[in-house]
Amino acid sequence: MTVHFPFQNSYSALPDSFFARVAPTPVAAPRLIKLNRPLALQLGLDPDLLETPEGAEILAGKTVPPGADPIAMAYAGHQFGNFVPQLGDGRAILLGEVIDRGGLRRDIQLKGSGPTPFSRRGDGRAALGPVLREYIVSEAMFALGIPTTRSLAAVVTGEQVFRETALPGAVLTRVASSHIRVGTFQFFAVRRDTEAVRRLADHVIFRHYPELLNAERPYHGLLGAVVARQAELVARWLLVGFIHGVMNTDNSSISGETIDYGPCAFMDAYNPSQVFSSIDEMGRYAYANQPRIALWNLTRLAECLLPLFGDEQEKAVAEAQDILGAFSETFSAAYQTGLRKKVGLFTTRDGDDALIQDLLDAMAKNQADFTLTFRSLGDAAGDAAADDARAQFMDPAAFDEWARRWRERTALEPQSGAERQAAMHAVNPIFIPRNHRVEAVIQAAVNDDDYAPFEELVKVLANPFEDQPEYAAFADPPLPDQRVLQTFCGT
């Protein structure tokens, strides 16, 4: 039996300038190393058939399934602030869209499936390490409840890719509510193709913001909706210590999903100016800079949409500025609400913001582990001693002083200690994809063809809020010699 993909493609029905039709390049010896079975079911695909050799051939791009309409999408983008008028899918091919069991339209895309007209000097391929990293981190983000693209499968190709050294090649099957980026709008805007910008905006509204279909000013509404989703997304990142690493406009999704897991990382010790990416020399995409960059990217989107706002340019600019102005309020509300929950405050009182900021300041000063500090604060939310929390601080006395104030304040909350603990544990994960764990998993796979550590890590991260005593070590921060200081791009 052949694997049936219930494709219902809409993007490939847009004008020819939106993409290049191109099939994946067949590979030598595809071997499935991971299938996300629950996601396959959610997409209406048969996981058993996907696990057959024929399924692996499809997931490696060796066979194109019936109903697919393979395309590479065109887009532009600001990379580290510099505009590149043509980027596009240089190593990814959209097979098509399916409507999932929840009625949502989802893209099924192969990443690393061979060259396209947008490849420039690249080989169109992906190495195994970055594919595994994207699988692990994107699925961890999903389990954390943060909007993200998903990973359906990883296959090795049986071919080598050449980076600094020869590495095993791999293909990731990425699932997204769409792959439309700020850079997709920029591609048409820079060409002054207002009709294409309008077509794209209409497509985005149909797909992601159908509530705007009958709006009086749909394009204003569209900008406002993307602003809100991005503001909320970045707040969610900060609340789990996530650093995207390459927030270029081409890696900024219109649907509000986290997209493009390259040199991304979760911080261990709390440090607002933390940067991991080896190519981010100026710290443009540092942890605490992410809200500002998201707004910068949204401002680029607004510029693209201006011609759709009306003929009076000054008025259009003022309206766009007004809409962008909502970013900081939406972000702050989401971030502050999230922080309040993290420390177990469910009512509001004067002084709360200062209490929270003082904790963050003390954490930064004392190199406290971001994840474990909040998790162990939850452990201490009842009457238990806060030993684990204070152990995160180089100077535990700095925590003691803060904890006294925190206990006084939480005593004014209506919940019992046990209720507070449950509520805090529901928002403060114990397991995040720690860099040193991700690195170890990649080394085992690449060097020893051993996928057991990968499977284990994926399994633990699927339930990040649950204490899993048998996997307690996965919660530990790195030892000094395990610390990952830099991450590298996913190419």
Q: Which of 53, 122, 351, 382 binds ligand AMP (CB under 6 A)?
A: 122
Token output for 184: 């997709």
Exposed, middle or buried by CB within 10 Å (0-12, 13-18, 19+), for 153?
Answer: buried
- Please state the closest distance from residue 72 (CB atom) to ligand AMP, in A: 8
Q: Is 379 in the site for ligand AMP (CB under 6 A)?
A: no
- Please state the closest distance from residue 285 (CB atom) to Mg ion, in A: 13
Of 206, 170, 220, 193, which Cα lies nearest the Cα of 74? 193
Q: Distance between CA atoms of 229 and 252, rounded to whole angstroms? A: 11
Q: Is 490 in the site for ligand AMP (CB under 6 A)?
A: yes
Q: Which residues are catalytic?
A: 250
Q: Is 251 in the site for ligand AMP (CB under 6 A)?
A: yes
| DSSP track, 96-151 | EEEE-TTS-EEEEEEESB---TT-TTS-SBEEHHHHHHHHHHHHHHHHTT--B-EE
Binding site for Mg ion (CB under 5 A): 251, 260
Q: Distance between CA atoms of 237 and 370, rounded to whole angstroms? A: 13
Residue 38 near which of ligand AMP, Mg ion, none (CB within 5-8 Å, type-dependent): none
Q: Is 100 in the site for ligand AMP (CB under 6 A)?
A: no
- Please state the closest distance from residue 174 (CB atom) to ligand AMP, in A: 11
Q: Which of 34, 78, 125, 437 binds ligand AMP (CB under 6 A)?
A: 125
Which is closer to Mg ion, CB of 50 or CB of 126? Answer: 126
Q: Is 90 in the site for ligand AMP (CB under 6 A)?
A: yes
Contact 431, 463 (CB under 8 A): yes
Residue 491 near which of Mg ion, ligand AMP, none (CB within 5-8 Å, type-dependent): ligand AMP
Q: Distance between CA atoms of 184 and 253, rounded to whole angstroms? A: 9
- Please state the closest distance from residue 116 (CB atom) to ligand AMP, in A: 8
CA angle, residues 227, 88, 16, in degrees to nearest 5 = 100
Q: Which span (116-124, 228-236, 384-392, 404-412) binds ligand AMP, by CB under 6 A?
A: 116-124
Q: Pairing relation of β-strands 166-176 and 265-266?
A: unpaired
Q: Is 319 in the site for ligand AMP (CB under 6 A)?
A: no
Q: Is 489 in the site for ligand AMP (CB under 6 A)?
A: yes
> Which amino acid, one-letter code, is at 320?
A
Report the interface residues with ligand AMP, using CB under 6 A: 87-91, 118-119, 122-125, 246, 250-251, 260, 262, 489-491
